[in-house]
Amino acid sequence: EDHSTAITTNIENYSSRLEKIKELSLPKDNLAFLQTFLDRTCKQFQTQIQVDLNYLRPTQHLFEQMTATIRGMIEVKQAESDRNLQETLQANEAAAQKREQKLELVITTVGTGLAVSGISSQVASDAIEKILPACQQAKDAKDPNLPSYLGCSSLDIVFHLLVGVILATPVGIILWWWRRKPKGSGISKPPRG
């Protein structure tokens, strides 16, 4: 359409200049070819542009529809991508929470075991000597063949660690079971009557 407007403007300018040339020309000058260009060729250009526009208008609508369809497809793909990303982020967050809960459980269990071991070593510092009389006899005899790391103090450490493990294991199992229990299962239904 811009070309049609430009050609129309150029034809008007050409016509006015042709009139001025005719006014200034000599009687013998043959200016018919200039008039022929105006009458035939310029009109042919206008007609050709109109035909081209008539061919292009229906396809322009199709191109607009195709562009709108492509935009819609891109928006759908973007929405799916955003949803998948959101689901992945939620799954990663849930997995991180599970790992954190497991770590808390391990830390709680190990901490409980060490605390129990420490308490038992303070309360019953000579428990091995009372349980194993041979240890007391070895301590009294001070056997030079017995290495120092195998003495009663090593057995005391092992004993208190075992006490810690024995008492921490049920604590760990109870905590694991308590965290595994589904939320809201502690609410009982009212009796029917």
Q: Which of 109, 184, 65 is nearest to 117 (CA)?
A: 109
Tell me the HSE value of 16 on the side-chain side, using a 13 A CA sphere. 5
User: CA 69, CA 154: separation in Å to the nearest integer?
Assistant: 79
pTM for the predicted model, two decimal places: 0.45
User: CA 109, CA 168: separation in Å to the nearest integer?
Assistant: 6
pLDDT in tens, 78-135: 999 999 999 999 999 999 998 998 898 888 888 888 888 888 777 777 766 666 665 5
pLDDT in tens, 148-190: 545 566 777 788 888 888 888 888 888 888 887 766 555 555 5
